[in-house]
Chains A and B, each alone.
Chain A
Amino acid sequence: MIDTATVLLRVLEHLGYSGLALGIAALIAVPLGLYIGHTGRGSWMIAGANALRALPSLGLMTLLVLLIGAGVVPPTIALVILAVPPILSNTAAGISVADPAAVDAARAMGMTDRQLLRQVELPIALPLVVSGFRAAVLQVVATATIAAFVNLGGIGRFIFDGLALYDYGRVVLGAVLVAAVALALDGALALVARAVTPGRVGRTRTRPDSANERVGE
């Protein structure tokens, strides 16, 4: 049957595919997003990236396998294309929503563009960048299961093998594992998001009955 070592191997493979794709996606999307958000130029790229979301990963991956051969490259490309749009649009949005007054003040202090970006805009944008990254992680981890369809490893292996062998237990194991990995990573990133939110405080308390009533004045 399935031993712990196999499970661990599949999970590590899964994390490997996901991590590779997310790393490449971040290397592409973060600098591009910084540039678009800082200069306000090239916002057509965001629209273009969003159109990429319509590309079906399974189709792209199978097509790439037929065109360039099996291996890690086809699923990685498909996953990178999945991960770029959320990171790109959130990074650009985060930079461009940085409080104009703060940016103005920084310029008045004599900051160069580079200093402005690193010391002001990036820290302000970081929470949004992280949330874009979270969205990308969820999608990539979920979609990495299809790598097993083109005879690679990862948690998807359990699902496809289970389906082929009519072994429903194996299918469920795969499903639960993917969900667990996704939840764990999302939870970890939620902590990161909290850590990078500047000046965060507890939610401002509101009166319990004020949901529909304006209180006093």
Chain B
Amino acid sequence: MIEFEGVSKTYPDGTAAVDGLDLRIDSGSLTVFVGPSGCGKTTSMRMINRMVEPTAGRILMDGQDTAQIPTVKLRQSMGYVLQGAGLFPHRTAIDNVATTLRLAGASKADARRRAGDALRLVRLRPELDDRFPSQLSGGQQQRVGVARALVADPPVLLMDEPFSAVDPVVRAELQGELLRLRGTLSQTIVFVTHDIDEALLLGDRIVVFGPGGTVHQCAEPQTILERPADAFVAQMVGRDRGFRALGFHVEDLPVLPLGDPGADGALEVPGGSWRLTVDDAGRPLTWENGVTRTPAGDGHAAGSSLRSALDAALSSPAGTAAVVDDAGRVVGWLQRSAVLTALEAPAGRP
């Protein structure tokens, strides 16, 4: 557990980067610091491993004041992932990762072996191990950066806008990777971003920072969306707040069974002229009604959120969404009216 107790950072010219921060970060959680530029979110994170020294207050790590822990030891107990990775340009991918262990005193062979394991964990292809950073794409560099931070299995992982320097497609891929890794990791993660959507996607808890280094709200993503503490947070969250909040609701929706497929394998949508063609694996391809054809999306994954259900129902020209299983195969139908009924009867929603 990491605790901020009245932590401030004021620069000699009087600028307050962080002002009287009180915060508890539970062990094993993923806490996102989010806010606009210059709001002190990165400074706050960097005070955890004392890359920045607080000017007031203290930070406790499992009850121990971090100011009492030798800097080098403190930093070695925390993985740090930077924006743009910050890889050592003169070392290969695997040696970058091994550096962390070598610093902690591991033998060269042992360090390289464990570095290789860490690179497999972040799914870097083995043939890239001996490349220099300049030979890797931005996404690959960031994977190496994450492996370098994780290889020594530190109890805390600090991530400073780790995915903001890569293009949106790779960013989505890396975000997915982080969510996947969380299943296998026990780290307490502090993640800094200016992107509220990234915060809502990844965080267990979100800390919204505002200008002057003050915290406006500290809550679960759903609460941030549904009950923003003030106008600043509401504006930060932006448009479509209500719709996006549906992403945190799962309702038991009535799914209609599939009929027998036609001769061409296409599925008849109940109560209409529409048919849905599917590929060999049974995944949706196109909506057809003899007049027009529209590409079908992925459909609504069974058991996923009300947001996904509503989106699938609204975007289907047939007015009926395809329900798919974990493999993406169509397993049933969901009628738009059923989704709207679920929205009408709010179970615990505001």
Contact = CB atoms under 8 A, between A and B. Distances in A.
A and B together in one complex: yes
User: Interface range on chain B: under 10, 10 to 19, 20 to 34, or 35 or more?
Assistant: 10 to 19
B340 interface: no
B51 A213 contact: yes
B12 A207 contact: yes
B51 A216 contact: no
B38 A216 contact: yes
Interface string A195-217: 00000000000011100011111
B40 to A, nearest CB: 6
B46 to A, nearest CB: 8
Contacts of B40: 216
The SS class assigned to the A binding surface is loop
Given A213-B51, A213-B52, A216-B43, A208 B38 contact: no
B42 interface: yes
B307 to A, nearest CB: 31
- Majority SS at the chain B contact face: loop
A108 B282 CA distance: 56
A209 B15 CA distance: 12
A217 B51 CA distance: 13
Interface in B180-210: 192
Interface string A137-179: 0000000000000000000000000000000000000000000
A72 B29 CA distance: 82
Contacts of A209: 11-12
A217 B12 contact: no
A217 B213 CA distance: 11
Contact of B11 (A207, A214, A217): A207
Contacts of B41: 217
B37 interface: yes
A178 B46 CA distance: 54
B42 to A, nearest CB: 4
B7 interface: no
B12 A215 contact: no
A208 to B, nearest CB: 6
B13 interface: yes
Nearest to A213: B52
A178 B25 CA distance: 68
Contacts of B161: 217
Nearest to A207: B11
B52 A217 contact: no
Most buried by B among A208, A209, A217: A217
A145 to B, nearest CB: 44
Contacts of A214: 42, 46
Contacts of B37: 217
B18 to A, nearest CB: 9
Contacts of B192: 217
Given A216-B42, A217-B43, A207 B13 contact: yes
A217 B42 contact: yes
Interface in B34-55: 37-43, 46, 51-52
A217 B164 CA distance: 13
* Nearest 9 A/B pairs, CB to CB: A217-B42, A216-B17, A216-B38, A216-B43, A207-B11, A213-B52, A217-B37, A208-B12, A216-B40
Given A207-B12, A209-B11, 5 more contacts: A207-B11, A208-B12, A214-B46, A216-B40, A217-B41
8 contacts: A209-B12, A213-B52, A214-B46, A215-B11, A216-B17, A217-B37, A217-B38, A217-B42
Interface of A: 207-209, 213-217
Interface of B: 11-13, 17, 37-43, 46, 51-52, 161, 192
